[in-house]
Structure 1
Amino acid sequence: MCGITGFIQWSGDLTQDSQLLVKMTESLAHRGPDGSGTWISNPCAFGHRRLSVIDPENGAQPMIIHQEEEVYAIVYNGELYNAAELKDELVRRGHRFNTKCDTEVLLVSYIEWGPECLERLNGIFAFAIWDSVREQVFLARDRVGVKPLFYSYIDGTLVFGSEPKALLQHPKVEPVVGAEGLAEVFIIGPARTPGHGVYKDISELRPGMAMIFNREGLRKYTYWKLESKPHEDDADQTASFLRELLRDTVERQLVSDVPVCSLLSGGLDSSALSSLAVDYYKRTGQGQVHTYSVDYVDNNKHFKSHSFQPGADAPWIKRMHEELGTYHHWIEFDTPELVEALDVSTQKRDLPGMADVDASLLLFCREIKKGATVAISGEAADEIFGGYPWFHREEMLNSGTFPWSVAPDMRAGLLSAEIRDWIKPLEYLGDRYSDAVAEVPKLDGETGQQAKMRIMSYLNITRFMPTLLDRKDRMSMGVGLEVRVPYTDHRLIDYVWNIPWSIKTTGDREKGILRKALEGVLPDDVLYRKKSPYPKTHNPNYLAAVKAQVLSILDDPSSPLLPLIDTARIREMASSPDASSNLPWFGQLMSGPQLFAYLAQVHFWLKEYNVSIR
C-alpha cells in the first residue's frame, strides 16, 4: 500500500517543477514510510510513497518499462489478489518479469490489454499510468472504492493524489469550500456523496470508474457497477457458495511478505475472518495468528446497552481468541488520548470525520503497526448482507431519506440562519437522496418489500460503505498500516447483491445467510450473537472534555466555525442534562459527545487548512 500523486499538463517544462512534485509526494509520507520516488517526463510528473508488502527489494515506484521507443510509467496504491494468475497468463503471452511485485503485473497487464485490463483485476487499487503510445494518462480506482483517488482539473492541468492534502500543495488547487461542500460537511455526513471532494476544486474518482486524460481533454467512464438479475440458487446452495467464496477471498488476501494480523471484535464478521485465517495458517505451516481488539478505560463501568450496541465485546473477544488459539493483543485507550487524537484524525482525512470513532481507530492502528504491517478487517459485511438495524425497521425503510440522516431538521437547526439560507441543507439532502435512488438497478417483476430492500442495500453499498472504507484507509494508512477488507471482494458483492431478502434473512435473522454459510466455521453462540458495531467510549469524562472544548471554541470570536453555526443552540445543547452518550442529537450515528467532538473537528479543519468559504 502506498501514496500516489502527480500532475499532467501539455505545455511548459515540468522539470522546473521538480520541487513541487517532491512537496506533493512528501505530504503522503505517512502512507508510505518505506520509500519515496518521483519521475518527470513531459507532460507527466508522478510521485510515490511506498509501504513495502510484496517484494520489498524490487518494487520501487514510479515503475518504468521501456519497449523500444515506447515508455510506460505507473504509480500505484493497492494490492492485486489475482496477481499470480495474471502473471502466468502474461508469461504465456510472451512477457518477461523482473520483479515479484504486483506493480509490474499491473503495468504489464495494461501494456497487453490496455484499459480493458481492469476487467481482469481482482484487488483494491488506485493508479495512474503514462502511456507514450497513446499519449495519455490512464487513471482508475477499484470497484467499490477501498483505495482513494482525488483529482483536480484546472486550466488544462490534471492534478491527482491519494488524499486531498497532496493536491492542496499544488498552486492551482485552493482550499475553497462552497455551498455544496458545506452541505456535505453538515447535512450529508458522515457519508459523503460519491465523487464529491468537498473542496470546490477537488473531485473524487468514483469507485468502479476510470479516467483518460490526453490532449483532447478529460474523459471518465464506468467499468463496473452493480447489476440486478434473478438469483437461481436456494438457501443451501447459496450458503455453500458463499462459504467457499469467502474462504478463497480470505486466503488470497493473506498473501504477504510481511506480518499479517486480524482485527477481532468477537462479532460474526471479524470472528469469521480470524477463524479462516487461523485455518489457513495451520494448513500452510505459518504459525500463530495475531489478533487485536480495541476498548476504552472504564468502558465496562459506563456501558449502556442500546439498539446499535446491544452488548459489550470483551467477553466475546476472549471467547474467540481462546477458541482459535490466537496470540491476542488487548488495546485500550483513555479519554485524554482520544480527545487529543481528534485533531490528528482530521488531518489524516483532510476533513472532519466520524469524531471519536476516527480518533480511536487511528490510535488502534498506531498500536497494531508496532507489531504488524498488514491486517484483515470485517468492514462492509453489514452493508452487503443487511446487518444494520435500519434494514429491519419500517420507519427507517420508509423515511424517504438516508437511514443515517433521519434527523435532518435537527442537523439543519445547528446552522446559522445565513448558512441555512445559502446552502439550503434539506433541499440538498433531498436531491442527493433522489439521485441515489434513481441509480438503483431495478429487477423486472420485483415490487413492494423486495424493491424496498434493494434500494436500502444500494444506499448502504454505494453511500455508507465508502464512508467506512475511507475512514479505514485514512486512519490505517495514516500510520503506515495496510488493512485488507475481504468482504469487499467484488465477486462476493456481485453475488450477494442479487440474493433475495428472504434468503439473506434465513432463519429470520439479520445476515442469516452469512450465519448459515459459517456454520461449522464458528461456535454457535458466536455465530448467532446479536450484532455489535465498532465500540465507542461511554466514559462521561469524554463528554465533559469535548463539551468543554466546544464551549472554549464558542468563546473565541476569531473561530471560523462561529459564522456557520447557531451558537446559542449549541450552548443550549451543551448545558442540557440530556447531552449524554446515547442521545442521538445528530441523527442515529452521532450522539451528544460525538456532536461536540465533530464540531471541534470542523473548527480545527477550517483553521488548520485555512479554508475559505465562498
Structure 2
Amino acid sequence: MCGFLCMYNHNDDLTKEISTFNKMLSLLKYRGPDDYNISHDKHVLLGHCRLSVIDIDGGRQPFKYTYNDVEYSIVYNGEIYNMDSIKEQLINEGFHFKSQSDTEVVVASFVAYGTRCLNLFDGIFSFVIAYQGKIFAARDQLGVKPLFYYQKEDLFIFSSEIKCILMYLQCCIIDETGIKELLGLGPSISPGRTIYKDIYSLRPAHYMNAYNGFKEINRYWALERYNHKRTYEETVYDVRCLVNNSIKQQLLSDVPISCMLSGGLDSSIITGVASQYVSKLATYSVDYQDQEKYFQPYEYQTTRDDHYIEEMRLRYNTNHKTVTLSQKQLVMALKESLIARDAPGMADIDSSFLLFSKEISQNHKVVLSGECADEIFGGYPWFYRKELTSIDGFPWMRELDKRMELFSDDIKALNIKNYVLDKYHQTLNEIDYHDSTFEDENKRKMIYLNLEWFMQTLLTRGDSQTMRSSIELRVPFANKEIISYLYNVPWHYMYHNDIEKGLLRDAFKDFLPSDIYNRKKNPYPKTHSPIYRDLIVELLKESLKDQDNILLKLFNYEKLLDLINSGGESFKYPWFGQLMTGPQLLAYIYQIYLWGRIYHIKIELE
C-alpha cells in the first residue's frame, strides 16, 4: 500500500512546481515510509510513498514501462490478488516484465487491453498512468482505495488524500453543498464528492481520461440482475468457495500477515480460514479500560467480545494480542483521526481504530478485517426490520427532522432534508433493483445503498486510519465476485431460518464454535465508560469560549448547550448507523470544532 500524487497540465511547464509538489507529497509519508520518489517532465509530475509488501526490491514507483517506443508512467496504490494469472496471460501475448510487482502488471494490462483491463483485476486499487500527454486514472470496483482530484482549467491534481490538494490551494472552502454533505449526510459523503469546494472523489468502479483540460469519466463495472437457480445447499457451497478464495488470495504477501479478531461471525470466519494457510496466525483485538466495569448490554451490542476471542484463539492456536485503550487516549486521538480522514468522521470509532492500527503496526504491515460482510450478507437491521425497510430515505439516518432542529437558522434555510432525500432517490435511480417479491427487491435495494454509501464510510475509515499507521488493511468480504453473487441470491436464503446472515453462518458452520455460529451481530466495540463522556463534555464546553468556533455558525446555541450539558442524552436517536449516540455524537461534534479550527474552514454561502 502506498500514497501517490500527480500534477498534470498539458499546456503549462510544471517544473516550476517541483518544490511545492515535494511539500505536498511529503504529507503522505506515513502511507509509505519505506520509499519516496518523484519523476517529472514538462507537463506531468508524479510522486509516490511506498509501503513495501510485494516485490520489496523491485516495485519502486513511479514505475516506467515502455512498449512500442511509448513510455507509460504509473503511480499506484493497492494489491492485485490475481496478478500471477494476468501476468501469465500477458507473457503468452508477448509482453515482457522486469519486476515481480503487481504495479508492472497493472500498467502492462492497460497497454494491452485499455480500459478493459479494469475488469480483469481482482483486488483493491487506485492508480494514475501518464502517457503521450494524457492521463488515465481508475479506482477499484468497491472503492477500497481512495482517489481524489481537483481540476481548474488545464490543471489536474490527483492524490491519495485530500490534504495534498488543500496544501496546493492554501484554503479550505465549504460551500452550501459542502454544508449539506457535512450536516445532512455526514459522516457519509455523496458518491464522487468531498465536503470541500472543487475537490472530488473518483467514484468506485469508474475511470477518468484527462487530456488538454478536458476529462471524461465512465463507469466500468456494475451489479447485474439474473435469476438465481442454485438450491440452498448449492448456494452454501458457492458462498464457502467464494469467501475462502477471497481470503486465500488476500494472504498474498512478502511480509507476515495478521488478522483483526473480535469474536464476531465475520472476523472469526476470516481467522479460521486464514489459519488453514498460515501457521500460528497473529490476531489482534481492541478493548477499553474498565470496559468490564461499565459495559451495559443494549439493542445492538448484547455481549462483550472476550469469551469469543479466547475460544477462537484456543481453537486455531493464534498468536493473540488484545490492545486496551484508555479513555484519555481515545479522546486525544480524535484530532489525529480527523486529520487522517481530512474531515469529521466516525468520532471515537475512528480514533480507536487509529490507535488499534498503530499497535498492530509495531509488528505487522498487513492485517485482514471482517468489515463489509454486513453490507453484503444483510447483517444490519435495515435489511430485515419492516419499520426500517419501509423508510423513504437512508435507514441509517432515520431522524432527519430531529437533526434539523439542532442547526442554526442560516443552516436550516438551506433545506438540507430535501438534499438528503434527493441523494437517496438519485442512488436508487442508478440501478434496476426491482423484483417480483418485496423481500428480494428490498435486499437488492439495500445492498446497492450500502455499497454506495454506508460501506464507503467504513472503507474510508479503514483506509485513512490504517494508512496513517503505515499498515495495509485488507477486507476479504469487499470482493466483487462475492457481492455480484449475493446480489441475486433470494433473501430467504440469506436470512435462512430467520437469522441474520444465516447463509454465511451455514457456509462456515464447521469453522466456528457453536456459540459464535449462534452469536447475534455485535458492531465494532465502543467504550461505555462515563469518564469518556465527561472528558468530551469538558472539551466541548471549553470550545465554546472560542469566538471562531465553527459550531456557533452551524448549530443553534441553546440546543448545542443543552446537548453538551446532557452528555449527549438530549438527542435520543443514533446520528448515524447504530453507534453514534450520546458521547459518540458529542465526539463527532467536537471533531467538527477541531476541523474548523485546524483547517481554518471558510464557509461560503450564497
Taking structure 2 as the reference length, the TM-score comes to: 0.97
Report the alpha carbon displacement of residue 457 of structure 1 after superposing the two structures with TM. Answer: 2.1
Letter in 2 for 1:591: T
Report how far residue 33 of structure 1 moved: 0.7
C-alpha distance in 2 between matches for 1:446 and 1:454: 12
Q: Is the 8 A contact 1:373 1:480 kept in 2?
A: yes
| Between 55-64 and 183-192, the greater mean CA deviation after superposition | 183-192
Q: CA deviation at 1:442?
A: 2.7
Report if the CA contact (8 A) 2:568-2:583 is conserved.
no
1:300 matched to which residue of 2?
292
Tell me if structure 1 keeps the 8 A contact 2:175–2:603: yes
Identity %: 38
**For residue 221 of structure 1, what is the aligned residue in structure 2?**
218
Secondary structure, counterpart of 1:115 in structure 2: helix
8 Å Cα contact 2:9-2:213 kept in structure 1: no
- 1:329 aligned residue: 321
Contact 2:3–2:48 (8 Å) recurs in 1: yes
**Whole-Å separation in 1 of the counterparts to 2:187 and 2:298:** 20
Q: 1:250 to 1:234 in 2, by over 3 A?
A: same
Task: Name the structure 1 match of 2:74.
Answer: 74
Does the CA-based 8 Å contact 1:266-1:320 persist in structure 2? yes
Residue 416 of structure 1: which of 383, 408, 417 is its match?
A: 408
Q: CA deviation at 1:371?
A: 0.8
- By how many angstroms is 1:34 displaced? 0.7
> What CA distance in whole angstroms lies between the structure 1 residues aligned with 2:187 and 2:490?
28
Amino acid in structure 1 at the alignment position of 2:217: K
For 1:496 and 1:585, how far apart are their aligned partners in 2? Answer: 28
**Does the CA contact (< 8 Å) of 1:141 and 1:210 recur in 2?**
yes
The separation in 2 between residues aligned to 1:103 and 1:540, in whole angstroms, is 48
What code does the residue aligned with 2:509 have? E
- Contact 2:567–2:582 (8 Å) recurs in 1: no
d(CA) in 1 for partners of 2:569, 2:148: 37
1:519 CA displacement: 2.0
Asked if the contact 1:307–1:389 (Cα under 8 Å) also holds between the matched residues in 2, the reply is: no
Give yes or no for contact 2:533–2:567 (8 Å, CA) kept in 1: no
Corresponding residue for residue 265 of structure 2: 268
Matched, 1:252 2:249: yes
- What's the counterpart of residue 596 of structure 1? 586
CA distance in 2, matches of 1:62, 1:177: 33
Structure 2 SS opposite 1:486: coil
Describe the superposition over 1:12-47 as per-residue Cα deviations: whole angstroms up to 9, x where unpaired.
Answer: 211111112211211111111111111111321111
* Contact persistence 1:270–1:378 (CA under 8 A): yes
Is 1:57 the equivalent of 2:49? no
Following superposition, the deviation at residue 174 of structure 1 comes to 3.8
Alignment partner, residue 560 of structure 1? 550
Deviation at residue 585 of structure 1 after TM alignment: 5.3
Name whichever of 65-74 and 329-338 sits farther off. Answer: 65-74
**Quick check: 1:14–1:44 contact (8 Å CA) kept in 2?**
yes
CA offset at residue 595 of structure 1? 1.4
Superposed displacement of residue 417, structure 1: 0.8
Matched, 1:429 2:420: yes
Whether the aligned pair in 1 keeps the contact of 2:311 and 2:513 (CA below 8 Å) is: no
* Residue 545 of structure 1, CA deviation: 0.6
Structure 2 partner of 1:190? 187
Q: For the structure 1 residues 577 and 144, does the alpha-carbon distance in structure 2 shift closer, same or farther, using more than 3 Å as the test? A: closer
Match of 1:491 in 2: 481
Q: Which residue of 1 aligns with 2:8?
A: 8
Name the SS for the 2:108 alignment partner: helix
2:146 to 145, 148, 160: 148
Q: How many residues align?
A: 603
1:34 corresponds to: 34
Distance 1:577 1:363, change over 3 A: closer
The match for 1:390 among 366, 382, 395 is: 382
8 Å Cα contact 1:181/1:199 also seen in 2: yes
Shift in alpha-carbon separation, 1:455–1:68, aligned structure 2, 3 A: closer
SS of equivalent to 2:275: helix
Shift of 1:87: 1.0
Tell me the equivalent position of 1:18: 18
Cα displacement (A) at 1:578 = 7.1
Q: Distance in 2 between matches of 1:567 and 1:541?
A: 25
1:425-463 Cα distance to aligned partner (Å, 9 max, x none): 1111111111122223234x5243322232122211211
Distance in 2 between the 1:174 and 1:48 partners? 24
TM-score computed with the length of structure 1 as normaliser: 0.96
The equivalent of 2:448 in structure 1 is 458
Residue 584 of structure 1, CA deviation = 3.0
Contact 1:296 1:537 in 2 (8 A): yes
Given candidates 308, 313, 320, the residue that maps to 2:305 is 313
Q: Which amino acid aligns with 2:269?
A: A
Residue 501 of structure 1 pairs with residue 491 of structure 2 = yes
- Quote the offset at 1:575 in angstroms: 2.3
* Contact 2:154 2:212 (C-alpha < 8 Å) held by counterparts: no
**Structure 2: gaps (5+ residues):** none
**C-alpha separation between the residues in 2 aligned to 1:253 and 1:534?**
22
Correspondence for 1:284: none
Residues 566 and 250 (structure 1), Cα distance of their counterparts in 2 relative to 1, 3 Å cut: same
Aligned pair partner of 1:540 in 530, 537, 543:
530
Q: Which one of the candidate residues 421, 441, 446 is aligned to 2:432? A: 441
SS of 1:159's equivalent in the other structure is: strand
User: d(CA) in 1 for partners of 2:189 and 2:154?
Assistant: 27
* RMSD, matched Cα: 1.5
CA contact (8 A) 1:308 1:389 kept: no
What's the offset of the Cα at 1:216? 6.4
Task: Give the partner amino acid of 1:20.
Answer: T
> Which of 163, 166, 176 is the equivalent residue of 1:165?
163
Cα distance in 1 between the residues matched to 2:464 and 2:378: 25
Asked whether the 8 Å contact 1:174–1:201 carries over to 2, the reply is: no
- Could you tell me how far apart the structure 2 residues matched to 1:466 and 1:472 are? 10
- 8 Å CA contact 1:417–1:566 kept in 2: the answer is yes
Post-superposition Cα deviations, 1:564-586, rounded to whole Å, max 9, x if no partner, equal 11121111122237729x95352
User: 1:194, 1:457 → 2: CA distance?
Assistant: 15
- Per-residue CA shift, 1:118-177, capped at 9, x if unaligned? 121111000000122xx4210000000000001111122111101100111224x74111
Q: Match of 1:584? A: 573
Q: Indicate if the aligned counterparts of 1:109 and 1:117 stay in contact, CA closer than 8 A.
A: yes
> What's 1:98 paired with?
98
Measured in 1, the distance between the counterparts of 2:568 and 2:348 equals 19
Residues 20, 303 of structure 1: alpha-carbon distance in 2 compared, 3 angstrom cutoff:
same
CA apart distance, 1:390? 2.1
Structure 2 counterpart of 1:143, one-letter code: Q
Which has the higher mean CA deviation after the structures are superposed, 73-82 or 21-30?
A: 21-30
Decide which moves more: 93-102 or 335-344: 93-102
Q: How big is each residue's C-alpha offset from its partner over 1:90-126, in whole Å with a ceiling of 9 and x where there is no partner? A: 1111122111111111111111112211121111000
Which position in structure 1 is the counterpart of 2:135? 137
Provide the secondary structure at the position in 2 that maps to 1:170: helix
Taking the aligned partners of 2:210 and 2:575, their CA distance within structure 1 comes to 41
What displacement does 1:215 show? 2.4
What's 1:124 paired with?
A: 124
Paired residue type of 1:138: F
Alignment CA distance shift 1:108-1:585 (3 Å): closer
Could you say if the C-alpha distance between residues 53 and 577 of structure 1 is closer, same or farther in structure 2, counting changes exceeding 3 Å? closer
TM-aligned CA deviation for residue 219 of structure 1: 0.1
Contact 2:10 2:213 in 1 (8 A): no
